[in-house]
Amino acid sequence: MRGPYQIVTAFLCVVACTPLAANAGKTAADAGAAALATRVATFSIHNATVFDGVAQLSSERTELSFALEDVLKTKFSDSAVPHSHFDLNLQNRTISEILDALCSKDVTYTWTRDGLTVNVFPRSIVDDSSYLPNRQLGQSDLRGVTDTEQAVFAIVARLPPPFEQIACAQAGGDTSYAVPWDVTFRNLTIRQAFNLIARHLGSRGGWVLGGSREFRTIGFHKGTIHYNSGSERID
């Protein structure tokens, strides 16, 4: 992940989970579909990236959360993987149509919706079961979780081998929960678990994954993403 982050790291054997509150899934899915159908009068970006475009969408007044996964570098010391820059000008389009247009401008990325969360990630990892966010979780009970960092480390620590690494990147925002969180995750992917961890932080909470294959970082935000072609700040 790019930017002046404080890194708090943990080297753990990864976790797995899905909340028992599965009944909320259908409601969230219906609300998510409705939110994606929200029309944006004018959407315009210049010399920008997919992530710039998603950051702009995150400022729209909807119920949606946004989570971004950057292409991971081979080594943490490598230069950042360059993003394609382009212009895009659209009128009276739905958020779904804008996301499609953004990903057609840079086919490196694709997107899906998980309830009320929009996930944008590299197209190349869609079928890669070894990629951390794609890994399947079993059941995991978390009790008294106080912040997103504790939740991430707890679920990743419970994944079966192979060994995984994850680090939390802090951009200055408070990612603690108002009250300790008790939750059971069941039959989810790590991506879906991260979505739930973020949404518990705030109704529009999301996350950004970056770094390298040898050192991954994740940061959580409560709403709007401020991203400027290579340097993001999350609130």
> Does some domain include residue 59?
no
Tell which residue, 79, 111, 90, has the closest CA to residue 45: 90
> Does some domain include residue 46?
no
> Does some domain include residue 222?
yes
List the single range of 21-35, 150-164, 181-195 with lowest mean pLDDT.
21-35
Domain count, the chain: 1
> Does some domain include residue 42?
no
> Does some domain include residue 167?
yes
pTM: 0.85
Average the pLDDT over 212-227 and give the result. Answer: 88
Cα distance between residue 219 and residue 52, in whole Å? 17
pLDDT(2) > 50: no
Structural domain boundaries, residue 159: 6-35+64-83+110-234
For residues 78 and 212, the answer to whether their CB atoms sit within 8 Å is yes
80: amino acid identity, one letter = A
pLDDT(3) > 90: no
Name the more confident of 172 and 35.
Answer: 35
User: How high is the mean pLDDT of the chain?
Assistant: 86
Convert the pLDDT of each residue in 127-186 to its tens digit. 999 999 999 998 899 999 999 999 999 999 999 998 899 999 875 578 999 999 999 999
Name the more confident of 179 and 5.
Answer: 179
